[in-house]
């Protein structure tokens, strides 16, 4: 696939609430031996300060490589740089809308556009509710373009005992879309048994 010995995944963090999803993607990829190429939007830096006690540098240290959002000449801005695809976690409506238009203003959305044109998986963990018709139409457009819209919704069948377990289930299911199997996922028929019918 590439000259790299490890598979590569592009990880984008945008300014929506739920920055923990992106952090756990980076943690999971490190555990799986996946090379990560991180880009953090300006909005994500603000969200990070509000939702965690971490700095941007702390987050960057979790990635194999980190790229500035303004660096449109970075490796991940080119389709000739092979990757498994890209995940945006969390994905803001602004970021989603920019990707849908193809008029990209940052490395994050440029990398997403490249992912689509190269027919690689683009997974958008969109964080917004409720959704108006414009949001829904944008999601339809992105789906038609090849993106996967994967809002991080709790899987109650996995009986999560903490917020951390709920986050990990969503992250693991998103990573499944790249063919990456992470231990944070509880799987139906494996970790979870079938529902028992009452007699």
Q: Would you say residue 131 lies in a domain? A: yes
Asked which of 62-66, 68-72, 189-193 is least confident by mean pLDDT, the reply is 189-193
* Cis check: omega of the bond before 43, within 30 degrees of 0: no
Number of domains in the chain: 1
Q: Does residue 49 have a pLDDT over 60?
A: yes
Q: How would DSSP label each residue in 142-155?
A: HHHHT-EE------
Q: Is 195 domain-assigned? A: no
**Whether pLDDT at 27 is above 60:** yes
Percent of the chain whose pLDDT exceeds 90: 90
Is residue 120 one of the residues assigned to a domain? yes
| In the predicted structure, residue 199 carries a pLDDT above the cut 60 | no
pLDDT digits (tens, 9 = 90+) for 75-98: 999 999 999 999 999 999 999 999
We report the CATH number of the domain holding residue 15 as 3.40.50.1950
Domain extent at residue 152: 8-176
Confirm whether 186 is domain-assigned. Answer: no
Residue pair 1/75 in contact (Cβ under 8 Å)? The answer is no
Mean pLDDT over all residues of the chain?
A: 94
């Amino acid at each position: 696939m590439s000259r790299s010995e490890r598979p590569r995944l592009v990880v984008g963090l945008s300014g929506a609430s739920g920055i923990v999803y992106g952090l756990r993607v980076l943690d999971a990829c490190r555990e799986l031996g996946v090379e990560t190429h991180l880009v953090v939007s300006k909005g994500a830096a603000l969200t990070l300060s509000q939702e965690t006690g971490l700095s941007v540098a702390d987050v960057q240290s979790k990635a194999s490589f980190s790229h500035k959002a303004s660096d449109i000449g970075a490796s991940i801005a080119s389709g000739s740089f092979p990757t498994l695809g890209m995940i945006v976690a969390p994905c803001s409506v602004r970021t989603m809308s920019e990707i849908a238009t193809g008029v990209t203003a940052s490395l994050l959305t440029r990398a997403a556009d490249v992912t689509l044109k190269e027919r690689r998986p683009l997974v958008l963990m969109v964080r917004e509710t409720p959704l108006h018709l414009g949001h829904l139409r944008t999601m339809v457009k992105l789906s038609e373009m090849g993106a996967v819209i994967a809002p991080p919704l709790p899987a109650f069948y996995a009986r999560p005992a903490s917020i951390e377990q709920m986050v990990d289930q969503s992250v693991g299911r998103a990573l499944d879309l790249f063919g990456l199997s992470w231990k944070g996922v509880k799987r139906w028929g494996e970790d979870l048994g079938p529902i028992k019918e009452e007699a």
